[in-house]
Structure 1
Amino acid sequence: MSTPTRTRPGGLTSAEVAERIAAGQVNTQPDKSGRSVADIVRANVFTPINGILGVLFAIVAYTGSFINGLFGLLIIANSGIGIVQEVRAKRTLDRLSIVGQARPTVRRDGELRSVPPGEVVLDDLIELAPGDQIVVDGETVESEALDIDESLLTGEADAVDKAPGDPVMSGSFVVSGSGSYRATKVGADAYAAQLASEASKFTLVASELRSGINKILAVITVILIPAGALTIFNQLWISRQELNDALLGMVAALVPMVPEGLVLMTSIAFAVGVVRLGQRQCLVNELPAIEGLARVDVVCTDKTGTLTENGMRLSEVRVVDDAFDEAEVTQALAAIAAADPHPNASIEAILEAYPDAPDWTVSAVLPFASANKYSGVSLTGADGAAHGNWLIGAPDVLLDPESQTAKLASDLGATGLRILLVGSTDVPVDTAPTGGSNVPGTLTPVGLIVLEQRVRPDAGATLRYFESQGVEVKVISGDNARSVGAVAESLGLGTAETSIDARTLAAGGEQLAGEVEDGVTFGRVRPDQKRAMVGALQSRGHTVAMTGDGVNDVLALKDADIGVAMGAGSSAARSVAQIVLLDNKFATLPYVVGEGRRVIGNIERVSNLFLTKTVYAVLLALAVGIAGLVAHAVGAAPISYPFQPIHVTISAWFTIGVPAFVLSLAPNNERAKTGFVRRVLTQAVPNGLIIGALTFVCFLWVNPGGSTVSVIGAESDFDGVQMQAATATLAAMITMAWWVLVVVARPMNWWKVVLVSVSVVAYVIIFVWPFTQDLFKLDSSNGEMMWRAGVCALAGVVLIEISSRILKARLERRAAAEAAAL
C-alpha cells in the first residue's frame, strides 16, 4: 500500500482518489443490522418449544391420525409472530443513518464536484457553506466565521466557532460562515459511523416474562424425556398396544406438559399492546419493551425536546437606559427579527413575541458569528430616516463585567434564563471595530432580552405521575447545569442550586454510581458520560429507562433497559430506541407504563392456567406410567394412558385457550413486580397436583381395565366401554380445570361471568352432541361412570378452592409485611 500524499490546496487528483479507493480509504458505511432475514427466520422457527411440538407432531403424522395433530398449528403461530416482530425491528435498524443523504462538494483536480457521501475518500478537501452537513470526520483547513452546530453529538446548544486546524465531526452541520475541511477519518472510522455501528447491533430488550417462560420450558424439556420413555414403555411393552396406539398415547401424555399456548398468548398480548399504544402515537420497535418500561424504577430524561419544547419564549425585555422607551425598543426588535432570513431560536422567540414589524429597511447587516457572540442590523425608515444601529448578543461579551447591567444579566442567567443584550451603536453595524474594541463604534446598552425555554405543559403532570408510582426521574442534559436545574425546579424536580455539573463527576466505579444515584439534575453531560451514568444506575440494581432525541443520546439509549426516543429527534435515536414517541410528548409515557402493567399482570394471571395444565399433565403421565409398572409386577390388568391427543387438545380450548385470550386483554393496573416464575408456580403447582391426582383416581375408579385404544387402519377408535371411561375421566379433569379458571378470573364482573358460563355451555355441547362426540371420540352415555367422575370433580373443586384461599391469605400477609418494611 502506498503512502497517501499530502492534500494540495486544489484538493486531490483523480489518480490520488483512485489510489485511496484501491486502498479501501473510502467512506463506505458498515452494515447497519446484525442479522439477516434468514437469521431471524431461523431463530424463530428453531426454538425449543417449536422443536418439542415439531417432534410430537411428526410422531402423530406418522400414525396417520391428523385430527390428533391440531396442536401443530401453534408452531406456525408462534414462529409467525416472532418473525414479523423481529423483521420489523431489523428494518427499523436498517434505517439508522446518522448522516443524511447530503451530497458534499469536494475539490478534485482543482475543480468543485458534488459526490455522494459514500464516494468521499481520505484526505478529500470538502467545501462548507451554511446548512451543509459534515459527512466525515476532518480538520478545518479554511474558515471564514465558520460556526458548526454539534448539538446532536454533544448536547451543547450553542454553535462552535471553527478555526483552521480545529477538528470537525460527522453528524454536525454548518450554522453560518464558510470554509473547508480535510477528511481525516472515513467509513467505519468516522465518529458517526462508530456510533451507528455500535448502536445498531441487534439486541432484544430484556423481558422477565420471556426469560421466565424459557426457564420453565427448560425444566419441562428435561421432564419430557423420562416421562415419554415411561409412557411408551408402558403402552408398548406392558399394555401390549400396537405401535400407533402407543405413540398416540405418548403424545397425548406429553403435549399437555408443554405450555405451548402461553408463548403464543404472551406474543398476542404484547402485539395488542403495541396496537393500543400505536393509537396514542407511540411506536414500539420490540414487543416486550412495554413490559420493560412497566418495570423501570429510574427514568433518565433529556431536557430539551423532552421536558421542554424545541425553541424558546420571550419572557420580558428590561430596558436599562432611560433614553429609550419600551415601545421604541420593541419596535426595533420586531424589525430586527423580521429582517433575519435565517433566524435562530432566540430571534424566532422575538419574532413570535413581536410579529408586527414596522416598515423599515435594513441598511447594513452584521451576521452572527460564534467567535463574536453577537449580530447587528442598521435600520432605515421608508422616509430615509435612520432608526438606529442595533446589536444583539451575549452580555458577557458585549458588556464590562463590572457594570450594573452585566451583573443584572448574570443574576438573571443564574436562574436558568437565557439573557441577550440589545444595544445601540453610533456607527453602522458593518463598520470595522477600531481601537482594540470588539464592536463597531461605541456601544450603549439599551435592554436585556429575557428568554425562557418552553416547558411542556404536560411535563409536570407526567413527573408527578412517576413520583406517585415510586419511579425516580433524573434529568441529564448537555446544557448549562443551572439552566437544567432551573427548568427541572419549575416542574417540582430538584433545584438550580443542587444541579450537578457533570464535569465534576467521578470517571466511574462506585463513586460515580453514588453521585448519580443521589443527584437529580445534571448539566454539561457528554455522550460517553450519559452512557456511563446509565451503567452506574444499573450497577446499583436499578431498571433504567432513558429518553432522548439526539445522536449524543444514542449509546445511552442503547445501553438502557428501555430506550425511549422522540419522533422529532435524530434518526439514530429513533432507530436504536425500543419505544418512539411519535407525537413528541413526554406525557405519553404514563400510558406506556399502564399498558405494560396490563400486559404483565394479565399474562401472569393466565400463566396460572397454562402451568396448572403442565403440572397435572406431568403428574398424570408419571402416575399412569408407574401404576402400569406396578400392575404388571403384581399381575393385574394393564393400565395405559386414558386420553388421545385430541382429548387433551379440546380440554384446553375453553378452560385455557379462549379464556386466556380474553383475560389477557382485560384492564389491569397492578404494579409490576419481579419474581414472575416464583409467584406463578406458587399458585399453579398446588392446583396442578390436585387436578392430576384426582384425575388419576377418577380413571382408576371408572376404568374397567385393559387397553384404552385399539387401531382400525390408520385411524384410532375406542372400544365402547374404554371410550366411556376416557370420556368420564376427561369430564372430571375439565371440570377441575374450569374451576381454576373461575379462581383466576376473580374478582368477578358481568363479562367474566359470561366468559366462564360460555365455557360450561361449550363443553356441554361437545360432550352431548352426537357430531362432536364422534369427531372427538367421546361417549358420555354411561351414567355410572359420569356419576363417579362428578364425585371426583366436586372433590377437586373443593380442594382447589381451599388451596386458593389459603394461598391468597398468605400472599396478602406477605404484601402487608413488605409494605410495612418500606
Structure 2
Amino acid sequence: MQELTGLTSAEVQVRVHQGLKNTEPKPLTKSTGRIIAENVFTLFNLINVVLAVMVFTTGSYKNMLFLLIATVNTLIGIFQELRSKRQIDKMALLSHSPITVIRNGKAESIAPAEIVEGDTLKITLGDQLPVDGKIIATQELEVDESQITGEADPITKAVGDSVTSGSFVVSGNAYVQVTKVGDATFVNSLTAKIKPTKQNNSRLLRLINRIIRILTIIIVPLGAILLASRFFHGVGYNQAILGTVAAMMGMIPEGLVLLSSVTLAVSAYNLARQHVLVRDLASIETLARVDTICLDKTGTITTGKLQFKELQLATNNYSTTEVSAILGSLVNGIADTNETAQTLQQHFTEHPYVVSYVVPFSSARKWSGAELGDAGSFALGAPQFVLDLTPAQREQVATFAKAGNRVLALVQADHMTTTELQGTRLLAFILITDVIRPDAESTLEYLRNQGVTVKVISGDDPTTVAQIARATNIPGWNQLVDMSQVPDDADYRELTKQSTIFGRVKPDQKEQLIKALQANGHTVAMTGDGVNDILALRQSNCGIAMASGNESTKSIADFVLMNSNFSALINVLKEGRRVINNIDSIASLYLIKTMFSVMLSIIFLFLAKDYPFEPIQLTPINSLMVGIPSFLLALAPAFHPIKDRFVAGITGISLPSALTVVINILVINGIGALLHWNQLQLSTLSVLITGFVCWQALILVSRPLNPYKSTVVLSSIVLFLLTFIFLRHFFGFASIFSWPLGAVGLVLILLINPLFLGLQRLVDRVTPVVQTWHHQLQHRFARSK
C-alpha cells in the first residue's frame, strides 16, 4: 500500500484556527466550579447565614455553632464530590482510544479530539473511526458498520468509498482522508437530534426535593410569625431571637440533603475504583430499582472473541492430521486479520505447505482460498458459498448451527479464481463458538436471584443467541422470536411478555421493545455499545454502555463499564441498593426534628413562654442522635431489593416520634410550672427526652441489628449522655443528677416507648382515613374542573 505524507504541522495549525478541529468528548462529570457552587449557594445555607447574623446580634456567640457545622457539612459534600470527580475523570481518560495519523510524512498517535479536517488517518484491525472520511488507499479493508446500521456483516471498502464515524475495522487496513470533524460527523449529527428527554427517575430524590420545597414555603413565614409572637408575649430580645433561630434550625432537614448527595458521591467513587463510570448520581438509584435488563449477546454474555470447537472430518481421502495441516497452511498463508481467521491461526499452528496463490477473504464472496503447492487448491468459507450442499449436508449444517456453532466448510477445488470456485469437494466442517464470559453465568444467576428479569436483544440469528442463553441458564431461553419476521404493526407489549430471546433486531425495533417493556410496568436497563443503540439507551430507564463502544454511545449512557465487564453490574446494583435502602430508612430520623419543630413553633405562637431550646442545645441531638449515626449507617451493607420504606418511615417512625417529643415537652413545661423550674432546667430536660426519643427511632431504623449497627447505636447514646456530664456548661445544661430533675427525667424516659407505641397505633388508624379524605377531595376537585 502506498505511503502518504499527510498534512504538515503548519497546515494543521491553519485548520485549528479555522475551527476545523474535532471536538473534545463531553465531560462525564460536573466542573469543579459547578460542584463548589451547587454545594455553597443553597437555600439552606442562605437561611443559616441569616440566622447566624440574628444570633450575632444577641452576643451569644456560642449559639452560632450551627454555622460552623453547616460549613463543615458543605465542605464534606464538596470534598466527596470532587474526590468522585477526580476518580471518574481519571478513568474517563482511559476510555478514549488514540488514533494513528500521518503528519509531516510520519505516523504519530494522537487523541481523537486533535484530528483536523484533511488529516490522513492510518486505520487497521480493531480501530474505530472517530470522524467521517474517504478511502485514499486500501488493502482488503472491511469495516463493521453495525454500530450505525445494526447489520453485523462486514462491508468491503475500496478507494474512493466513504467511511463513517462509529465504524470498526474488522479486516485489512487503509489510509483515510478526513472529510468531516466535530459536530458535522455522522455520529455527532445523529446524537444532536436526540433530545435529552429522559427524566430523573430517582423516586427518593424527587420525594426529598418535594419535602424541601414544602418546607421552604413554611420555614420563613412561620419563623417570622414566631418571632413576632415572642415580642408580642413580652419575651426578651435575646430569648426571642434564640428561640426563633432554634425553631427554624429544627425545621431544616439539611442533613438529609447532604446525606443523599454525599452517599451517592461515595458510591460513584467506589464504582469508579471498580472501573465503572457513573455519569449521573441519580442513576445509581434507578439501576437499583431495575426489574428488567436487556442485554446484547456479544460483549456482555460473550467476550466478543471466538474459539475453535471441533473439526468434523467429511472425507476418506485425507486423515484428520492431514486436513489439520492443510487448514493450518491455508489460514496462516492467507494471513487474514478477521476474528475467525485469527482464531483458526491460533489453533492450527502447523503449516507445512507452501502457499503460491492467495484469494483473501471477502464479505462479498464469503470465502478465502489458496493454492498449496502440489497439494492443490483449497478454500474455507460459509458452507453454502463454497459447496453445493446435499440435503444431508444441509441438515448437518443446520444441526450444528442450532447448537450455537458458527459453521465453516473446508473444500478442495479443481479450479479457483478471485470470483469463483469450481469442482469443490468437502473435506471437513469446522465448528467455532463464541467465548462465553467466565463470570456471565454467575452474574445472570445473581440478577435472577435479585428479581431482575433478563431479555436478550441481538442482531444475530435467534437460534444461535438462544443456545448462548441456554448455556448461561437464562430462564426462557427457548422463548425466541426472529424480529426480521415481525410485522411493523405487531403488538410489542404482548411480544415482550411471551418472549425472552429477540434475534435479528433492527435498531428501531430495539427502542420499540424497550417502550413495550416500560408500558408493561417494568423499570428497564439497556446495555449497548453502538450508535444504533442510542435511541434504545435514551428510552431506557437506565442506559449502560461498554467502554469498547462508540464515544457518542458512552456520552449518552448513565453508566460506562470501563472493562466492558458485564459482571461489574453486580457492584452497581449493590451500591445502589445499599445507598437507597439505607437512606430510605434513615431519612425518617431527619424528619422527626423537622416535624416536632414545626409543631412546637405553632404551639408556642400562643404561649407566653420561651421556646424550649436554644440553637446550641440542638447540636448534641443533630450530631450524635441523627447526623453522625446516619452517615455511619448509610455505609452499612443493605443489598436486599428496595422496599420503598420512606413514606412508611414517616408515618411509622417520624410522626409518632415527633408527637412523643411534643407531648413530653408540654408535660415538662407543666411539671416545671408546678415545681417552679427555671428555663435552664426546662430546656435541659427537653433536650434529654428529645435525645432519647431520637435514640429509640435510631434503634428502629437500624433493625435488624448486627455488631456494626449495635456499636453505632450504643456509641451515640453514650456520647450524648457524656455531653450532659462533661460539656453541660458549654451547651447550657443543668445537672441531670439533681433532685427532682433527674427523677422526673428518668420516669419520662421509661414512658417514651409506651407513649410512642400508643401514638404509632393511633397514626396507623388515622392515616387511611386521611388518605381517603385526600382522594375524595382530589376526585371532587377534578370533577369540578
TM-score > 0.5 by shorter chain: yes
Counterpart of 1:456 (choices 437, 447, 454) is: 437
CA RMSD across the alignment: 4.2
Deviations 1:81-123 (A, max 9, x none): 575278559948986988854427899xxxx99999779888x
Work out the CA distance in 2 between the residues paired with 1:179 and 1:666.
Answer: 54
Residues 388-399 of structure 1: pairs in structure 2 closer than 5 A? 388-399=376-387
Counterpart of 1:467 (choices 448, 460, 465) is: 448
Equivalence for 1:624: 604
Residues 338 and 254 of structure 1: CA distance in aligned 2, closer, same or farther (over 3 Å): same
CA contact (8 A) 1:93 1:200 kept: no
Work out the CA distance in 2 between the residues paired with 1:448 and 1:597.
Answer: 49
Equivalence for 2:576: 596
Equivalence for 2:417: 432
Equivalence for 1:103: 101
Work out the CA distance in 2 between the residues paired with 1:623 and 1:777.
Answer: 24
Work out the CA distance in 2 between the residues paired with 1:614 and 1:728.
Answer: 19
Residues 39 and 753 of structure 1: CA distance in aligned 2, closer, same or farther (over 3 Å): closer
Equivalence for 1:541: 521
Work out the CA distance in 2 between the residues paired with 1:701 and 1:90.
Answer: 58
3-state DSSP of counterpart to 1:702 = helix
CA contact (8 A) 2:112 2:130 kept: yes
How many Å apart are 1:625 and its aligned residue?
A: 1.8
Counterpart of 1:698 (choices 668, 683, 703) is: 668
Work out the CA distance in 2 between the residues paired with 1:414 and 1:12.
Answer: 49
Work out the CA distance in 1 between the residues paired with 2:764 and 2:328.
Answer: 69
Counterpart of 2:223 (choices 211, 220, 228) is: 228
The one-letter code of the counterpart of 1:800 is F
Counterpart of 2:730 (choices 762, 767, 775) is: 775
**Are positions 1:364 and 2:357 aligned together?**
yes
Work out the CA distance in 1 between the residues paired with 2:420 and 2:512.
Answer: 41
TM-score (norm 1): 0.80
Select between 151-160 and 254-263 the one with higher mean Cα deviation. 151-160
How many Å apart are 1:214 and its aligned residue?
A: 0.8
**Are positions 1:74 and 2:70 aligned together?**
yes
CA contact (8 A) 1:99 1:135 kept: no
CA contact (8 A) 2:100 2:122 kept: no
The one-letter code of the counterpart of 2:420 is N
**Are positions 1:733 and 2:733 aligned together?**
no
Work out the CA distance in 2 between the residues paired with 1:93 and 1:585.
Answer: 15
Select between 181-190 and 71-80 the one with higher mean Cα deviation. 181-190
CA contact (8 A) 2:293 2:525 kept: yes
CA contact (8 A) 2:98 2:110 kept: no
Counterpart of 1:239 (choices 215, 234, 241) is: 234
**Are positions 1:444 and 2:425 aligned together?**
yes
The one-letter code of the counterpart of 1:474 is K
Work out the CA distance in 2 between the residues paired with 1:327 and 1:37.
Answer: 65
Residues 447 and 141 of structure 1: CA distance in aligned 2, closer, same or farther (over 3 Å): same
**Are positions 1:212 and 2:182 aligned together?**
no
Residues 31 and 317 of structure 1: CA distance in aligned 2, closer, same or farther (over 3 Å): closer
Work out the CA distance in 2 between the residues paired with 1:119 and 1:687.
Answer: 61
CA contact (8 A) 1:101 1:117 kept: yes
Select between 230-239 and 142-151 the one with higher mean Cα deviation. 142-151
Work out the CA distance in 2 between the residues paired with 1:765 and 1:478.
Answer: 66
CA contact (8 A) 1:208 1:676 kept: no
Deviations 1:206-226 (A, max 9, x none): 322211211111122222133
In the alignment of these two chains, the number of paired residues is 755
Deviations 1:376-434 (A, max 9, x none): 23345xxxxx444321111121122556434432442244321111112346xxx635x
Counterpart of 1:343 (choices 337, 340, 344) is: 337
Residues 165 and 660 of structure 1: CA distance in aligned 2, closer, same or farther (over 3 Å): same
CA contact (8 A) 1:534 1:556 kept: yes
Work out the CA distance in 2 between the residues paired with 1:33 and 1:201.
Answer: 16
Residues 287 and 179 of structure 1: CA distance in aligned 2, closer, same or farther (over 3 Å): closer
CA contact (8 A) 2:334 2:369 kept: no
Work out the CA distance in 2 between the residues paired with 1:581 and 1:11.
Answer: 38
Residues 91 and 128 of structure 1: CA distance in aligned 2, closer, same or farther (over 3 Å): closer
Residues 55 and 536 of structure 1: CA distance in aligned 2, closer, same or farther (over 3 Å): farther
Work out the CA distance in 2 between the residues paired with 1:324 and 1:740.
Answer: 81
Work out the CA distance in 1 between the residues paired with 2:525 and 2:192.
Answer: 22
How many Å apart are 1:672 and its aligned residue?
A: 0.7
Equivalence for 2:753: 797
Work out the CA distance in 1 between the residues paired with 2:297 and 2:257.
Answer: 39
3-state DSSP of counterpart to 2:70 = helix
Residues 104 and 61 of structure 1: CA distance in aligned 2, closer, same or farther (over 3 Å): farther
Work out the CA distance in 2 between the residues paired with 1:550 and 1:265.
Answer: 36
Deviations 1:636-674 (A, max 9, x none): xx3121211011122222221222223222232432134
Work out the CA distance in 2 between the residues paired with 1:784 and 1:695.
Answer: 16
How many Å apart are 1:263 and its aligned residue?
A: 2.0
**Are positions 1:312 and 2:306 aligned together?**
yes
Counterpart of 2:401 (choices 413, 423, 446) is: 413
Equivalence for 1:300: 294
3-state DSSP of counterpart to 1:603 = helix
Counterpart of 1:763 (choices 715, 720, 725) is: 720
Deviations 1:744-782 (A, max 9, x none): 33344444444333333223321122xx12211111264
Equivalence for 1:7: none
How many Å apart are 1:513 and its aligned residue?
A: 3.9
Q: Which runs of 5+ in 2 are unaligned?
A: 768-785
Residues 365-764 of structure 1: pairs in structure 2 closer than 5 A? 365-379=358-372, 386-402=374-390, 404-426=392-414, 432=417, 438-439=420-421, 442-493=423-474, 498-505=479-486, 511-627=491-607, 638-674=608-644, 676-677=646-647, 679-703=649-673, 721-764=678-721
Work out the CA distance in 2 between the residues paired with 1:97 and 1:558.
Answer: 21
Equivalence for 1:170: 165
Work out the CA distance in 1 between the residues paired with 2:317 and 2:574.
Answer: 59
Work out the CA distance in 2 between the residues paired with 1:618 and 1:397.
Answer: 80
The one-letter code of the counterpart of 1:544 is V
CA contact (8 A) 2:100 2:123 kept: no
CA contact (8 A) 1:33 1:202 kept: no
CA contact (8 A) 1:683 1:807 kept: no
Work out the CA distance in 1 between the residues paired with 2:168 and 2:530.
Answer: 13
Equivalence for 1:291: 285
Residues 727 and 115 of structure 1: CA distance in aligned 2, closer, same or farther (over 3 Å): closer
The one-letter code of the counterpart of 2:45 is N
CA contact (8 A) 1:33 1:200 kept: no
Equivalence for 1:3: none
CA contact (8 A) 2:172 2:336 kept: no
CA contact (8 A) 1:32 1:94 kept: no
Deviations 1:192-250 (A, max 9, x none): 223555789798963222112111111222221332023211223323412x4422221
CA contact (8 A) 2:22 2:116 kept: no
Select between 304-313 and 152-161 the one with higher mean Cα deviation. 152-161
Q: Which runs of 5+ in 1 are unaligned?
A: 1-9, 381-385, 628-637, 707-719, 812-822
How many Å apart are 1:450 and its aligned residue?
A: 0.9
Residues 25 and 277 of structure 1: CA distance in aligned 2, closer, same or farther (over 3 Å): closer
The one-letter code of the counterpart of 1:256 is G
CA contact (8 A) 2:525 2:541 kept: yes
Work out the CA distance in 2 between the residues paired with 1:610 and 1:680.
Answer: 10
How many Å apart are 1:125 and its aligned residue?
A: 10
Residues 405 and 170 of structure 1: CA distance in aligned 2, closer, same or farther (over 3 Å): same
Work out the CA distance in 2 between the residues paired with 1:148 and 1:125.
Answer: 20
